[in-house]
């Protein structure tokens, strides 16, 4: 059970904002509102860093690339990669899913949930099995069995695997996640961010939270100086880790339970609403210390 907000340590003045994108910062039409753009820019100007933390691959970060300020870093693929958006999505750090582990997951899920099909997200792009729903944003993808997609002639000879995606045409999304974690949870990390039965599989221990924690440690920023936003199960660890966290108004029930607070929906600029409040805190703290 999530610790109630009243029992959490008191959050310090925020130094970093970590926000999910789809269903959180982005509106349903994938745009960023003028109010949100202004709030993020004001936060950076006030010395509060902003990290985009998403399940998206680096190549799909164009939706926010024009709104990156400061360091320009983003955490992509649910924590599997740290990229520099100022440099066109250059990979700065990769936390891969080993191919042998990915193959073991494929075999295990095929047995536990017959009918599952797979896609493989590499640092160079995505490829998928014939029965997997096609990626129209990636017309150059290779279509082949997971075994062929994960094959490499020698260890380290092929591009790193960022995550494996598993799709089932009939199972309930949360039930599919439970089946996968029960069957193969000791092999890798499983989560989901889609309203359909689509799971995202990362290396064991890799998550938005663990990679964000590493990035914060490099900057001398503690968890209680972080404010996080999210809406789906792949945000839960991050929301629990941050000193202050907000679930969006239409968030998954487990996300609502995990966060220490709740804000308006993504179409109502819920992130901007809280960021504006944070800026008032920062100004008040600055004036008190003057």
Per-residue pLDDT tens digits for 174-196 = 999 999 999 999 999 999 999 99
First to last CA, the chain: 41
Structural domain ending residue among the three candidates 142, 168, 203: 203
Question: Are 267 and 27 a contacting pair, CB within 8 Å?
Answer: yes
- The enclosing domain of 26 has a CATH number of 3.40.50.1000
Give the bridge partners for 82, in sequence order: 75, 93
Report the run of H or E that residue 178 belongs to, with start and end: helix 173-184
Structural domain ending residue among the three candidates 170, 203, 236: 203
Mean pLDDT, to the nearest integer, of 77-87?
Answer: 93
- The enclosing domain of 153 has a CATH number of 3.30.1240.10
Q: Does 275 reside within a domain?
A: yes
Q: Does 4 reside within a domain?
A: no
Q: Does 85 reside within a domain?
A: yes
The CA-based angle 15-275-277, given to 5 degrees, is 100
Q: Does 7 reside within a domain?
A: no
Name, in order, each residue with C-beta under 8 angstroms of 156's C-beta and a sequence gap of 6 or more: none
The tally of domains found in the chain comes to 2
Beta strand extents in 130-253 (DSSP E only) = 161-167, 188-191, 198-203, 226-230, 244-247
Residue 273 in tokens: 């609403």
3-state secondary structure of 199: strand
* Predicted local distance difference test score (pLDDT) of residue 157: 86
Average pLDDT of the chain to the nearest whole number = 92
Mean pLDDT, to the nearest integer, of 253-269?
Answer: 97
* Predicted local distance difference test score (pLDDT) of residue 6: 33
- Co-location of 76 and 149 in the same domain: no
- Co-location of 103 and 30 in the same domain: no
**CA separation for the pair 92, 269 (Å, rounded):** 30
pLDDT surpassing 50 at residue 149: yes
% of the chain residues with pLDDT over 70:
93
Domain residues for the domain of 235 are 13-95+207-289
Residue 173: count of CB within 10 angstroms of its CB: 18
3-state secondary structure of 16: strand
Phi-psi region of 282 (alpha: psi -120 to 50; beta: other; left: phi over 0): alpha
* Predicted local distance difference test score (pLDDT) of residue 194: 96
Mean pLDDT, to the nearest integer, of 245-261?
Answer: 97
pLDDT tens per residue across span 108-147: 999 999 999 999 999 999 999 999 998 777 778 999 999 9
Worst-scoring range by mean pLDDT, 1-15, 48-62, 76-90, 209-223?
1-15
**CA atoms in the 13 A half-sphere facing the CB of 30:** 7
- Co-location of 86 and 211 in the same domain: yes
* Predicted local distance difference test score (pLDDT) of residue 11: 60
């Amino acid at each position: 059970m999530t610790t109630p907000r009243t029992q959490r340590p008191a959050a310090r003045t925020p130094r970093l904002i970590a926000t999910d994108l789809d269903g959180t910062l982005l509106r349903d039409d994938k745009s960023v509102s003028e109010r949100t753009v202004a709030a993020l820019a004001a936060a950076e100007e006030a010395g509060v860093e902003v990290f985009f933390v998403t399940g998206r691959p680096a190549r799909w970060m164009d939706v926010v690339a024009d709104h990156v300020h400061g360091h320009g870093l983003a955490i992509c693929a649910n924590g599997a990669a740290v990229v520099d958006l100022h440099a066109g999505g250059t990979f700065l750090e990769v936390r891969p899913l080993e191919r042998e582990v990915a193959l073991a997951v494929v075999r295990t899920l095929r047995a536990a949930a017959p009918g599952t099909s797979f896609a493989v997200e590499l640092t160079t792009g995505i490829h998928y099995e014939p029965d997997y729903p096609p990626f129209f944003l990636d017309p150059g993808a290779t279509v082949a069995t997971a075994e062929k997609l994960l094959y490499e002639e020698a260890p380290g000879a092929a591009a790193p695997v960022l995550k494996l995606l598993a799709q089932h045409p009939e199972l309930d999304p949360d039930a599919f996640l439970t089946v996968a974690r029960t069957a193969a949870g000791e092999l890798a990390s499983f989560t989901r961010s889609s309203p359909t039965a689509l799971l995202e599989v990362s290396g064991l221990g890799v998550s938005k939270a663990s990679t964000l924690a590493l990035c914060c440690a490099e900057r001398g920023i503690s968890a209680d100086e972080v404010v996080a936003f999210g809406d789906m199960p792949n945000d839960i660890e991050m929301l629990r880790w941050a000193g202050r966290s907000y679930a969006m108004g239409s968030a998954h029930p487990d996300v609502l339970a995990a966060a220490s607070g709740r804000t308006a929906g993504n179409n109502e600029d819920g992130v901007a609403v809280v960021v504006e409040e944070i800026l008032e805190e920062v100004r008040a703290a600055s004036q008190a210390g003057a």
